[in-house]
Amino acid sequence: MATAGLYRRLLPCPPAVEFASSQGKSLFLEAVETGTMEGFYKLVSYFQTQSEPAFCGLASLSMVLNALAIDPGRKWKGPWRWFDETMLDCCEPLETVKVRGITFGKLVCLAHCAGAKVEAFHASSSNIDDFRKYVINCSQTDYCHVITSYHRSALKQTGTGHFSPIGGYHVGKDMALILDVARFKYPPHWMPLKLLWEGMNHIDEDTGLSRGFMLVSRPHREPGFLYTLSCKHESWINIAKFLMDDVPLLLKSEDVKDIHTVLSVVVASLPSNFEEFIKWVAEVRRREDGGPSLSAEEKARLAVKEGVLKQVQETRLFKHVASFLSNSCSRQASNAGDMLPVIAASVCCQGAEILGGKPSSSTGYCCQETCMKCLKTEDDKAVTMVSGTVVNGNSKQGVDVLIPSSSGKLCCNCSNPNKYIRMHPASTDVLTVLLLSLPSTTWAFLTDKELLTEIHGLVSIKNLPTLLQEEVLHLRRQLHLLKRCQEGKVDVDLGAPFS
């Protein structure tokens, strides 16, 4: 029986020069001599083939993120953190991308969400000289990579819109090396920069805008060490709208005269599923993998998390939030998720699910028991660890959760005045961080000038320590990206979310 199908395409040469051909090898060696292939080695180490016909954008981005050694901050499969196309789903559902592909603006949004530093340009708002300059600059380093969005017809290739990274540049021939992620169709090839530029100037019918290019580099530190916003829950659009649009109007419509009333207006109106939107991030591991001691990596990450938590709890805003929650009728609702054993049991289940390589649903997992331990590191520092036994069917798995904590105030109920309690992430600091992350325009409608001055003093990021300031800016950028997605503006506004 005959089998219909396609096996590769013949690469049109010219204008392309196949990378593995004699001429392609000569171009490579000449480019190496001029120093414009420095980015190639990292990229080719993580070169991948797109797993779906419409996943060229996702494959290009995951390849570049891995080449830049950006930590996704969440597990891929088993215990490993790693960027894969399936990890890039916050700006567009994967099922939609499978059918329609992804627009240039949404891929830029994904790069921002993944924690990369991104500069992006529509071809219509740039020029070939600037493009060439950026390609040369990135080709001379291994900490910046170029992803292009172009139409294949300009390159005399079959197909329509496509994404691929640029692996290098030949100065004398003015040619770019395209590491085509559709390797089932075309191999890597050299292409005249002028033709590639023509391909980027094609209009994308889905957006009515030209295609373009983005420069992706590694930020100076990993974003979101302790707190992160979640786009996984289906209600994220409504919650983002509430925070960005509704809160300012609520403050305008209420007779708000003091900080307590401001907090009351915000907290009383929070959506019921708000806890699914912002989370604090705990480290998990198999109990048998770690034993009682911490690795250098675990200690370093935990130290940063604890630093962020301590800085949150030292802010003046935190003291107002803590006072409000302890004295208001909303205390029960706000603190419902603050019981550490309950949270730890939930995180243990999530950890077992992830470590088992089943990132779909943790509903089949049940944490039968948890116990809290206080570990001592080599420098005699106390670390809180919750151990749980997770059951899934007939199987059991021991999971450790490393809980960021900081020394708190003296416990009022302690007979020993020298005994300190340990404060763990709870709704008090989560709400504090959320308020700090709201855009400054949130408070613009407050009519009481003294209150407005007081609020600005409490939420101004200029007064925050560097570590907390970066954490807050990361959350603020996430909020702005979500708002852009909600409003359908990611293809128009390519710039990094303002801080």
244-250 contacts, C-beta under 8 A, 24 or more apart: 244/438, 244/439, 244/479, 244/483, 247/438, 247/442, 248/441, 248/442, 248/443, 248/444, 248/445, 249/445
Task: Establish whether 56 is a catalytic residue.
Answer: yes
* Distance from C-alpha of 203 to C-alpha of 122, rounded to nearest angstrom: 10
* Distance from C-alpha of 199 to C-alpha of 178, rounded to nearest angstrom: 13
Calculated CA dihedral for residues 466, 468, 472, 473, nearest 10 degrees? 20
Token reading at 62: 């995951």
Cross-strand bridge partners of residue 395: 392
Sorted by sequence, the CB contacts under 8 Å of residue 199 that are 6+ apart come out as 148, 150, 151, 152, 153, 154, 155, 211
Catalytic pick among 145, 162, 202, 474: 162
Token reading at 436: 């700090």
Catalytic pick among 122, 145, 151, 180: 180
Strands laid side by side in the 117-122 sheet: 17-18, 189-192, 175-178, 161-170, 144-151, 212-217, 117-122
CB 448 within 8 A of CB 455: no
Sorted by sequence, the CB contacts under 8 Å of residue 436 that are 6+ apart come out as 315, 317, 459, 461, 464, 468, 472
Task: Establish whether 374 is a catalytic residue.
Answer: no
Task: Establish whether 491 is a catalytic residue.
Answer: no
Catalytic pick among 56, 144, 231, 367: 56
Token reading at 212: 């373009």
- Say if residue 271 is preceded by a cis peptide, omega within 30 of 0: no
Q: Which residues of 207-228 are buried (b: 16+ CB within 10 A; e: fewer)?
A: bebbbbbbbbbbeeebbbbbbb
Residues acting as catalytic residues: 56, 162, 180
